[in-house]
Amino acid sequence: MEIFLLVFVFVIASLLGFELINKVPPTLHTPLMSGSNAISGITIVGAIICARSGEGFFAQTIAFLAIVFAMINVVGGYVVTDRMLASFKKKAK
Amino acid sequence: MGYYYLYLLATLLFVFGIKRLTNIRTCQQGNRLSEVAMAIAILAVLLITAGISWLVVIAGILVGSAIGLVIAKRTPTTQMPEMVAALNGFGGASSALVAMAYLLIDPLIKLDGTSLADTGIVNAISTPATVIIGMVTLTGSFVAYFKLSGKKVAHPLKGVQRHYLHGGLGLFAIGMGTWMVLTGNHTGMTIAVILLAIVSAALGVFLVMPIGGADMPVVVSLLNSYSGVAGAAAGFVIGNPLLIVVGALVGTSGLILTQIMCKAMNRSLGNVLLGGMGEESVAKDAKDYKSIKSTSPEECAMLLEGASSVIFVPGYGLAVAQAQHIVRDLGDLLIKRGCNVRYAIHPVAGRMPGHMNVLLAESDVPYDQLWEMDRINSDFKSTDVVIVVGANDVVNPAAREATGPIAGMPILDVDQARTVIVIKRSLAPGYAGIKNPLFEMDNCLMVFLDAKEALEAIVKEVKELN
């Protein structure tokens, strides 16, 4: 049943994604790409779950790298997107 | 248990954040929402997970954030496309590592004698899938990174051999994946997953290698989608709905962008991915121009003097030359003289989706001067002067012919304008590697200069005419 729920959630979320982003003005193609790129760093949650104490050195190293990579994606992605959007904002004033 | 509702809150904020990111008035707020959502998600997982190794987590977060911050702050705007590609690769890598780490820490899987398949069909599929997609995203993104930075990355094999290599690697990956899922021996499983990661990494490199530079907007969008799918797959591995929903959202948004980019080039995704275009197919006749008329900035200024409507067509050359500010200066100068100035944006101009929009936004060109291809194409015939700045394939009338590498690609009909000024350093072909008949047309004048130099000279001349 739990498996079914996860699959269920995945399918509905995919459909939601299509509905959510069906119309994007070309001006926002880059920010959307880099913004959603930052969001894909959500895997940080998985990485933290895997960083358990009492595990072997190998497992901890992999978890550490997973956290580092995910954070590079998250922080880098958001900062870049903000930089882009800031150049849009100036104009709106 | 209550903390789990923080996951729900984060998910909702992500959904609204993404929605707001698709509207020009709300986009900044949208990004802010999704940043808050990410912070809540991280807080939630720290509160929920028992037995966290705080040293690993805090060190990882600090190191990763610092690297991310430096990369994002230091990279100049010109290198934004390749930076986004690289950042994307890190996300994919992280998802793959999550799947690998989970094999090492899950108490049930760790037991010798229990295979991954014994823990259920979802694990059996999602674990190898996460590793494959994540690693392909990682190395594919880095090949895209090198291509976007202008390095030549050619596939070592040609033609059908290439397919054998990819097929072979694919089969090896399936073999390793199967071994990893079915073996009850934990050491064997670990070896299998490492080999699977390596072969997937190789596959990512070879798959992106043959794709031409002009197709990079498609590839970058697609890899963006992959990183989302990898995140969702990792969500199945650890049984976390937050990862599944958010990963699926990113996956679909990347897919939609990919579709838009493909449509803008009138090519199918398969055609782009099989690649080849723009790499080996540089035509011999690309330099074979007969009647080229070249002109000087002075003459351009005089033409602009008499023009009542001007359209700029920016391309990748504008980005390379960092000419976005000077092009706006020229535009403003002309507007002051009562000229109607607009910018025609081709959807795949540049090296990432919306590249030209970001670039011109940086120099504060008002939105209402940026016109999309479909909206402006019928206006070229009533336009006095079109200035093409560092664009080539997107204005190539060869696209209207029945055959050829870019046949059927929608283009900006600049050749219909009264005069077309093309600012381009040389007659070298664009990424499609073909001759551009526009340059030979009677109404076309070439300015063989770097975009910035040329525009600066034109601005100077226009001012002197005043």
Show Cβ contacts of residue B410 under 8 Å, excluding neighbours closer than 6 positions: B264, B266, B373, B399
| Band of residue B225 on the pLDDT scale cut at 50, 70, 90 | very high
> What mean pLDDT do residues B110-138 have?
90
Q: List chain A residues with pLDDT less than 70.
A: 1, 89-93
Task: Give the residue on B whose Cα is nearest the Cα of A41.
Answer: B91
- Only one residue has tokens 């190898």, namely B128
Pick the residue with more confidence: B112 or B136?
A: B136
Place of tokens 């430096």: B70
| A–B interface: beta-carbon pairs under 8 A | 387
| Cβ-Cβ contacts under 8 Å for B144 (sequence gap 6 or more) | B82, B85, B208, B216, B219, B220, B223
Residues B74-84 have pLDDT tens digits of: 988 778 888 99
In this prediction, residue A90 carries a pLDDT of: 58
Q: Quick one: pLDDT at residue B76?
A: 84
Residue A3 lies in a domain: no
To probe the interface with B, which of A2, A10, A30 has the most B CB atoms within 10 Å?
A: A30
Query: Would you say residue B367 has pLDDT above 90?
Result: no
In a domain, A71, yes or no: yes
Give pLDDT, residue A1: 60
Q: Which of A2, A5, A37, A91 has the most B C-beta neighbours within 10 Å, making it the best mutation to test the interface with B?
A: A37
Average pLDDT, chain B: 88
Containing B343, the helix (H) or strand (E) segment is strand B340-345
The residue of chain B with its CA nearest to that of A90 is B364
pLDDT tens digits, B398-424: 888 877 777 788 899 999 999 999 998
The alpha carbon torsion through B240, B246, B252, B255 (nearest 10 deg) reads -100
- B309 vs chain A: nearest CA distance in angstroms? 23
B314 SS3 class:
strand
Per-residue pLDDT at B280? 43
Q: Residue B91 and residue A40: Cβ atoms within 8 Å?
A: yes
Contact state of B68 with A74 under an 8 Å Cβ cutoff: yes
pLDDT tens track for B12-65 = 999 999 999 998 889 999 999 999 999 999 999 999 998 999 999 999 999 999
Residue B283 DSSP SS3: coil
* pLDDT (0 to 100) of residue B354: 85
Model confidence at B92: pLDDT above 80: yes
Model confidence at B113, pLDDT cuts 50, 70, 90, reads confident
pLDDT digits (tens, 9 = 90+) for B290-339: 778 888 888 899 899 889 999 999 998 888 888 999 999 999 999 998 89
Farthest-apart Cα atoms in chain A, separation: 55
What is the pLDDT at residue B342?
Answer: 94
Whether B212 and B277 have beta carbons less than 8 Å apart is answered as yes
Give the helix/strand (H/E) hosting B342.
strand B340-345
Token pair recorded at residue A44: 């940080």
CB contact at 8 A, B17 and B31: yes
Quick one: pLDDT at residue B281? Answer: 44
Any domain includes A57: yes
Residue A77 is assigned to a structural domain of this protein: yes
Give the residue numbers spanning the domain of A31.
26-92
Give the model's pLDDT for residue B153: 77
What was the pLDDT predicted at B283?
A: 46
ipTM above 0.90, yes or no: yes
Cα separations in angstroms, B92 against A39, A69, B102, B148: 12, 9, 16, 19
List of chain B residues whose C-beta atoms are within 8 Å of the C-beta of residue A82: 28, 31
Q: Do B104 and A55 touch (CB under 8 A)?
A: yes
Residue A20 lies in a domain: no
CA distance A14 to B249: 6
What distance in Å separates residue A9's CA from the closest CA in chain B? 7
- Report the domain count for chain A: 1
Give a yes or no: residue A19 inside a domain. Answer: no
pLDDT at B390 over 90: no
Within 8 A by CB and 6+ apart from B88, the residues are A37, A40, A73, B137, B141, B220, B223, B224, B227
What's the CA gap between B327 and B457, in Å, rounded? 11
Overall CATH class of domain B284-465? alpha beta
Q: Find, in chain B, the residue whose alpha carbon is nearest to that of A67.
A: B60
Residues of chain B with CATH 3.40.50.1220: 284-465
CB B183 within 8 A of CB B103: no
Confidence at B248, pLDDT banded by 50, 70, 90: very high
Q: What is the pLDDT of residues B262-304, one digit of tens each?
A: 888 877 888 777 765 444 444 444 456 777 888 888 889 989 9
Q: Which residues of A touch B97 (CB under 8 A)?
A: 47, 62-63, 65-66, 69
B277 or B343: which leads in pLDDT:
B343
Which residues of B are identified as catalytic? 393
Angle B196-B122-B193 (CA atoms, 0-180°, nearest 5)?
15
A65 contacts on B by Cβ (under 8 Å): 60, 93-94, 97
Side-by-side strand order, sheet with B370-372: B370-372, B340-345, B309-314, B385-389, B419-423, B444-447
